[in-house]
Structure 1
Amino acid sequence: MKHGRVVYQGQVLAVTESADGRVQLPDGSIVAETAVQWLPPMDFGTIFALGLNYADHAKEIAFNKAPEEPLVFLKGPNALNGHRCHTRRPADVTYMHFECELGVVIGKTCRNVKREDAYSVVAGYVTANDYAIRDYLENYYRPNLRVKNRDGATPVGPWLVDATDIADPMNLRLRSWVNGELKQDGNTADMVHSIPALIAHLSSMMTLNPGDLILTGTPDGVADSRVGDEIVTEIEGVGRLVNFIGGDELLSGH
Structure 2
Amino acid sequence: MKLVRFGEIQREKPGVIDATGVLRDASSIIDKWSGNALDDDSLARVRAAMEELPIVDSSPRLGAPVCDVGKVVGIGLNYRAHAAEAGLDVPIDPIIFLMAPTAINGPTDDIILPRGSVNTDWEVELAVIIGKGGAYIAPEDALSHVAGYCVANDVTERDYQLNRGTQWTKGKSADTFLPLGPILVTRDEVPDPQNLHLELFLNGELQQRGHSADMIFTVAELISRVSEYMSWQPGDVMITGTPPGVGLGMSPPQFLRDGDMLCLRINNFGEQCARVRAAQ
Identify whether the pair has TM-score above 0.5, normalized to the shorter chain: yes
Asked if 1:13 is matched to 2:44, the reply is no
Q: 1:217 aligns with which of 241, 246, 253?
A: 241
**How far has the Cα of 1:142 moved from its partner?**
4.6
Asked if 1:119 is matched to 2:150, the reply is no
The answer (yes or no) to whether the contact 2:97–2:168 under 8 Å persists in 1 is no
Counterpart for residue 227 of structure 1: 258
Q: Structure 1: which 4+ aligned runs deviate by more than 6 Å?
A: none
The answer (yes or no) to whether the contact 2:103–2:174 under 8 Å persists in 1 is yes
The answer to which of 14-23 and 185-194 deviates more is 14-23
Counterpart for residue 39 of structure 2: none
Q: 2:275 aligns with which of 234, 244, 251?
A: 244
Cα distance change of structure 1 residues 228 and 18 upon mapping to structure 2, 3 Å threshold:
farther
**How far has the Cα of 1:138 moved from its partner?**
2.7
The answer (yes or no) to whether the contact 1:6–1:36 under 8 Å persists in 2 is yes
Asked if 1:130 is matched to 2:161, the reply is no
Cα distance change of structure 1 residues 9 and 121 upon mapping to structure 2, 3 Å threshold:
closer
Q: Per the alignment, in what secondary structure is the counterpart of residue 45 of structure 1?
A: coil
Q: 1:153 aligns with which of 177, 180, 194?
A: 177
Spell out the pairing of 1:56-135 with structure 2 (5 A cutoff): 56-63=81-88, 65-135=89-159
Cα distance change of structure 1 residues 89 and 5 upon mapping to structure 2, 3 Å threshold:
same
Cα distance change of structure 1 residues 19 and 140 upon mapping to structure 2, 3 Å threshold:
farther
Cα distance change of structure 1 residues 94 and 201 upon mapping to structure 2, 3 Å threshold:
same
Q: In the TM superposition, what whole-angstrom CA distance separates every residue of 1:84-122 from its partner, at most 9, and x where no partner exists?
A: 101112352332211111011111121211111111111
- TM-score when scaled to structure 1? 0.89
The answer (yes or no) to whether the contact 1:127–1:158 under 8 Å persists in 2 is yes
The answer (yes or no) to whether the contact 2:196–2:266 under 8 Å persists in 1 is yes
The answer to which of 8-17 and 125-134 deviates more is 8-17
Greater strand share, structure number:
1
The answer (yes or no) to whether the contact 1:18–1:30 under 8 Å persists in 2 is no
Structure 2: distance between partners of 1:215 and 1:53: 10
- State the one-letter code of the partner of 1:119: L
Task: State the identity as a percent.
Answer: 35
Structure 2: distance between partners of 1:43 and 1:9: 14
Question: What RMSD, in angstroms, separates the aligned Cα atoms of the two structures?
Answer: 2.2
The answer (yes or no) to whether the contact 2:4–2:62 under 8 Å persists in 1 is no
Structure 1: distance between partners of 2:165 and 2:2: 34
Structure 1: distance between partners of 2:133 and 2:116: 42
- State the one-letter code of the partner of 1:138: L
The answer (yes or no) to whether the contact 2:112–2:278 under 8 Å persists in 1 is yes
**Structure 1 stretches of 5 or more lacking a match?**
250-254
Number of residue pairs aligned between Structure 1 and Structure 2: 246
Spell out the pairing of 1:31-42 with structure 2 (5 A cutoff): 31-32=58-59, 35-36=60-61, 38-42=63-67
- TM-score when scaled to structure 2? 0.81
